[in-house]
Structure 1
Amino acid sequence: MPASPRADRYHAFWEARDPDRIAVLHTADSVFHLNSGQGPVRGRAAIRETVAGMFALVPDLAIEFESLRTGEDLCAVQWKLSGTAVSGAVVAVDL
């Protein structure tokens, strides 16, 4: 589990499946890497849209914490996401 108040809050927003609150914790120029075959997503609005789409696509999304890196103006979290897509396909993504 993350060991930073900001990362703890971010993780809680993912667990709550709240794309609005997830996006708010990103900066206006954040770059979000989903590693699912699409390119990076940039900016709060695009991140919010991508996250909302992910929750709609994989309603039983599970989040497994992997690592956390923090710095003075940086917080990078690595997770493994898994679940079953609405199509029935198994989903496993490093985030």
Structure 2
Amino acid sequence: MSELTKQDIAAIADRYAAAWLSRDPGAIVAMHAPGSTFQAHGRGAEVKGKAALLKEFAEVFERYPGFGVETHRLLLGDKHWTLEWDLTFQPPGKARRGFRALDVVEVDDAGLVTRKDTFFDFAQVKAAFEAA
């Protein structure tokens, strides 16, 4: 294992989750390394660098108003974590809805995110957007 312990990884994951829950793209990007990448697999191409990440994360909050997270499990590893979660959101005037997601997040020795890959259950995504 690297210099980072599982406790360190857990603390970084907690701070990262708090940044997402604040719905502040700047706070999220502040936890990323300069050349960090993000990809929502099946939805779009990989984005790289802080400017592209800032734009992409701002769009997430536009796409999913009232963005929220329901965590199912967090698995810690050597300089990475895996998070199984539900993305929840609430379109104006409609009921809250959500769908399952899985993140694999890698960090460098300084604890900055170098890569975030998100995988969705696209049948659930479609159903969430079509719900009354």
- Percent identity between matched residues is 27
| 1:47 match: secondary structure | helix
- Tell me the equivalent position of 1:75: 80
Deviation at 1:80, TM superposition (A): 3.2
Alignment of 1:11 onto 2:4: no
Question: Which amino acid is 2:28 matched to?
Answer: I
Could you tell me the TM-score, scaled by structure 1's length? Answer: 0.72
Q: Report if the CA contact (8 A) 2:10-2:76 is conserved.
A: no
Is 1:20 aligned to residue 26 of structure 2?
yes
Is this contact kept in 2: 1:31–1:43, CA < 8 A? yes
Q: What is the letter of the counterpart of residue 56 of structure 2?
A: T
Distance 1:77 1:34 in 2: 14
Q: Indicate conservation of the 8 Å contact 1:13/1:22, yes or no.
A: yes
Q: Which consecutive residues of structure 1, in runs of 5 or more, have no partner in the other structure?
A: none
Letter in 2 for 1:20: G
Deviation of residue 5 (structure 1)? 1.4
Count of matched residue positions in the alignment of Structure 1 and Structure 2: 89
Q: Stretches of 4+ moved more than 6 A in 1?
A: none
TM-score norm. by structure 2 comes to: 0.55
Q: 2:104: which partner in 1?
A: none
Distance 1:9 1:69, change over 3 A: same
For the pair shown, the structure with the greater C-alpha radius of gyration is: 2
- Deviation of 1:84 (Å): 4.1
Aligned counterpart, 1:55: 61
Structure 2 residue runs of 5 or longer lacking an equivalent are: 1-8, 102-117, 119-132
